[in-house]
Amino acid sequence: MKIKILEFVEGAQKADGVTVVIDVFRAFSVSCYAFYAGVREIIVTDSIDEAFRLKEKYKESVLAGERDEKKIAGFDLGNSPTEILLSNLSGKILIQTTTAGTRGLLSASSSTELLTGSLVNASAVARYIKKINPETVSLVAMGYRGKTTAEEDILCAEFIADRISGGTKDFSEKICNLCNTSGKRFFIPENSDFSPPTDFFLCTMTDRFDFVLKAIRRLDGNISLVKTEIE
């Protein structure tokens, strides 16, 4: 099995085989917590206008997302797992758009199968890929705002690659140290309204969930995320 680690939207566009688009801080951690909180479906779009259109179409829906890390005007929620856990989402449809992660999903048009990736379900992703045993796996680290290498996304890609290959490398020290590097923004007081410290800890709870999120292309050009339990 060939495993490639790519970055940014450009990497997503080049990705082939089974593709995992990774956004640890915070898009695809949010997606996992949303299913944990009881949403029945997540629809991913890269357009704010399209998100509002979908909100009109699906009455039992909630808008969640960010631009420049902050909640979009008129949205119900930002891009925060803390907000997700404090909300009543049971039975709702979550409509999600972010700066990096959701753009990466929509850009990975050459993939044979498409998954989201984050630390909270990294081992489940690896187990699923080992089970289906594809010839090629593309791990796409979306980075900070889709433009700058993000240590947490590269670390997640390395973690998944290690587990696919049967490794048992201990990544815990590097994950904890993210609070001093790419994750230190969560501990800046002026960011607490949209990026609280609890988000850091929720996003770095490695292997909290035993499911993968499959990305299925919709006829309207958007993507549905489907939760699949992994044994």
Q: How far is it, in rounded angstroms, from Cα 127 to Cα 17?
A: 16
With beta carbons less than 8 A apart as the criterion, state whether 24 and 33 touch.
Answer: no
Q: What is the pLDDT of residue 137?
A: 98
Structural domains in the chain?
A: 2-229 (3.90.1560.10)
Block means of pLDDT (10 residues each) for the chain, 231 residues, are 97 98 98 98 97 96 96 98 98 97 96 98 98 98 92 98 98 98 96 96 98 97 96 75
Q: Which residue has the tokens 């699923």?
A: 128
Which alpha helices (DSSP H) does the chain contain, by range? Answer: 8-14, 27-36, 48-57, 81-85, 101-107, 122-132, 151-164, 172-176, 197-203
